[in-house]
Amino acid sequence: MNQGSTPAADASHNLLFVSTAANNLIAIADLSGRVQYFNRAAAQIFSRSQVELRSLPLHGALGCDETQMAPIMASLAETGAWHGNVAGQSLRFCLVPIDPSMSVILGTEEAELRDIETKLQQAQRLETMGELVAGLVHDLNNCLMPIMLAAEMFEPHKTEADLMKLKNVMTKGCKHASGMVRQFLTFTRDQGSLVPLQAEEVLKDLQVMIRAAFNKKIQIEIRTQPELWLIMGNPTKLHQILMNLCVNARDAMPAGGTLTITAENVKLEGVVEPSSGEHYGRFLKISVADTGTGISPENLHKLWQPFFTTKPVGKGTGLGLPTVKKLLENEYHGFFTLQTEEGKGTCFDLYFPAPTLK
């Protein structure tokens, strides 16, 4: 942050910097629909100068009338997002909070947005690993210490039994350290293709990482039903979904508490809850519950807005939950429900389609 600047000014500067470098249309407008900025690519697409575009209301710049713009603005006010076709352009709009009292409308072409979303998901995964790395390094050091001590104790006069004990200590430490590195790499590498996934294996890897990285005051419980159904997906992205929710749960329990992850097979025959719509068939349900602070009613509808966060400056980008929603719905074609109560905790129930795999 520049000296003397404000968070709002810095956020606006960052948006302008990204949009200037983009090759596709990006527009920034205030909530009244008044254009604040169009990038150079937008000027080329609409065959107008940036100055001319900025003198127009958003609907005028896009080449549509106020009647066509009204449902777009209504959707933005209600859900924070809209996408569709405007004047021959496939566009997507979303609300971006600049500070608690101000938001702007960010509009972009679908192709540019997909590229931005991919980069944001990668950045968000690295952000999560950055939050975990201190705990992982500490645990890795704990693995190496007994190996170093055992190596120092190797002496010619040791009995065979003593040497075997030292060997076992070193082998156990090496296996633990190797396992931690493997889980770290699994989370950071995007394995790309969709494969049949066994949730128990993913949860075992997740458990190793969060036990190493989280405050020891947080009790971690993982419960899985026998013979869980397979799901089709990308293991790295499933790790990312679950890790994001676990990190949020951790942050909601600064004084400690209980993080419970459960997995079970369910068959759905209609509405799970009104907001999720109707769903039928086999699903793998994974629940992530904490006994933390809960989510206030006024923040519930903002959770899925990119860059919205209640964490202190420097402690979160506001991309975790939007990433969870995007990956769950787009990569797995699943859905979620949420129960929360201030002072008692939060539970996310994730539903992954579980087709019959031969």
Given 62, 89, 110, which residue is the final one in a domain? 110
- Domain residues for the domain of 219 are 194-358
Q: What is the CATH number of the domain that holds 235?
A: 3.30.565.10
Last residue of a domain, one of 76, 110, 144: 110
CA atoms of 254 and 217, how far apart (whole Å): 9
Same domain, 82 and 214: no
Among residues 87, 110, 133, the one where a domain terminates is 110
- CATH number of the domain where residue 33 is located: 3.30.450.20
Beta strand pairing call for 89-99 and 102-109: antiparallel
56, 59, 60, 66: CA torsion to nearest 10: -120
Single-letter amino acid code for the residue at 343: G
Count of the separate structural domains present in the chain: 2
pLDDT per residue of the chain (358 residues) written in tens, 0 to 9: 444 455 444 545 555 544 554 555 667 777 777 777 777 777 776 777 878 877 788 788 777 788 888 888 888 778 777 777 766 667 777 776 655 555 556 666 555 555 656 665 565 565 566 555 555 555 565 566 666 656 666 666 667 777 777 677 677 667 666 655 655 555 555 555 678 889 998 898 888 778 877 888 999 999 999 999 999 988 878 888 898 899 889 989 999 999 999 999 999 988 777 667 788 899 999 999 999 999 988 888 777 776 667 766 555 556 678 878 888 988 888 999 999 999 999 999 999 999 876 5
Name the one residue in this structure whose structure tokens are 């190496």: 144
Q: Scanning the structure block, which residue is given the tokens 């496939």?
A: 90
Whose tokens are 């109707």? That residue is 278
Residues 344 and 211 in one domain: yes
Asked whether residue 207 is assigned to any structural domain, the reply reads yes
Q: What are the start-end ranges of the H helices in 189-294?
A: 199-213, 235-251
Q: Are residues 207 and 302 in the same domain?
A: yes
SS3 of 325, please?
Answer: helix
The pTM score is 0.55
